[in-house]
Amino acid sequence: MHRADPARLFYLGFDDTDTKDSPKGTGRTIRDFCGGLGSGYKLLAVLRHQLPRLPEIPFTSNNSSACAVLEADAPDLARPLFDAAADFLAREAPEGSDPGVCLASRGQVDQGLVDFALSCNAAKVGQARAMAAASGVLLAGVGGTCDGIIGAAAAVGLTRHGWCGRFIELGPMRDLPDPVGVAALTDLGIQVVSVDRDPLVPQPADVVVTGGWLRPSLWAGRPVLQVRADGHGRWATALTKRSKTTA
């Protein structure tokens, strides 16, 4: 996912793009935006990042932000991409939301922004800290209180960190069958790793039962699917979709 020229590899963060009555959340919103991009950009992945659900932090339902990873034909396509994303959110985000957008090339994300993002995983932070941490990249609030700049910047920093979040878009991932072969996942760039107490190594001819919900984790900057043994040559995803009653 990170093999492209760092000057042409971009992280696009969205946050606070919905309300409790919205038909879609931030993950779907950023996927819709990327689906409408024209030539000059290639979508590599979209990740969902969880932020803490604490009483002092205002959020809609799950307090998650999203980051799209895109490759551009040229570094100077950054500003048009950012402006298009800001215009999209200003137009599409419902009244009552507080949307924010952040864009940075891989080379622009410094340790300060990563450290800020990691701090967002532990406690409430304010807009001033977000703006200071993202001073070298593009960041804007486009509605309401503009609190979305916090999660948008965090999504970029967490993606660059490479050790948290889960993929909600990755090539044809959503169209893969259930069960799916380990070899097919490997071909898509997804490493299948057993997290059993005494783990065996999933083999290319093995299959993984996904339950129709395939969401690899971001580990060491790459997609990793955690599985548990479910019989000889058969695995089940270790992480499953939350039921509506617990979401």
- Measured from the Cβ of residue 42, the count of other Cβ atoms closer than 10 Å reads 14
Whether 245 has a pLDDT exceeding 90, the answer reads no
Q: Where are the alpha helices (DSSP H) in the chain?
A: 26-35, 78-92, 111-120, 127-133, 148-161, 182-187
Whether 91 has a pLDDT exceeding 70, the answer reads yes
pLDDT in tens, 93-147: 989 899 999 999 999 999 999 999 999 988 888 999 999 999 999 999 999 999 9
Whether 41 has a pLDDT exceeding 90, the answer reads yes
| CATH code for the domain defined by 9-166 | 3.30.70.2200
pLDDT at 27: 94
Q: In the predicted model, what is the mean pLDDT of residues 220-231?
A: 97
Whether 199 has a pLDDT exceeding 70, the answer reads yes
SS3 assignment, position 141? strand
Query: What DSSP designation does 203 have?
Result: P
| Amino acid at position 124, single letter | K
CA 185 to chain centre: 19
Residue 198, burial from CB neighbour count under 10 angstroms (0-12, 13-18, 19+): exposed
Whether 247 has a pLDDT exceeding 90, the answer reads no
- Token duo for residue 7: 């000057």
**How far is Cα 42 from Cα 171, in angstroms, rounded to an integer?**
11
pLDDT at 11: 98
Average model confidence (pLDDT) for the chain? 92
Nearest one of 135, 136, 137, 139 to 147, comparing CA atoms: 139
Whether 184 has a pLDDT exceeding 60, the answer reads yes
Whether 212 has a pLDDT exceeding 60, the answer reads yes
Whether 183 has a pLDDT exceeding 70, the answer reads yes
The residue ranges of every structural domain in the chain are: 9-166, 171-237
Whether 238 has a pLDDT exceeding 60, the answer reads yes
Higher per-residue pLDDT: 35 or 244:
35
pLDDT tier for residue 18 given thresholds of 50, 70 and 90: confident
pTM: 0.93
Whether 205 has a pLDDT exceeding 90, the answer reads yes
pLDDT in tens, 44-77: 999 999 886 666 556 555 678 999 999 999 999 9
**How far is Cα 14 from Cα 88, in angstroms, rounded to an integer?**
11
Nearest one of 20, 16, 18, 82 to 49, comparing CA atoms: 16
- Detail the DSSP E strand segments found in the chain: 9-15, 41-50, 64-72, 100-105, 138-141, 166-169, 180-181, 191-194, 207-209, 217-219, 222-229, 234-237
**How far is Cα 57 from Cα 76, in angstroms, rounded to an integer?**
36
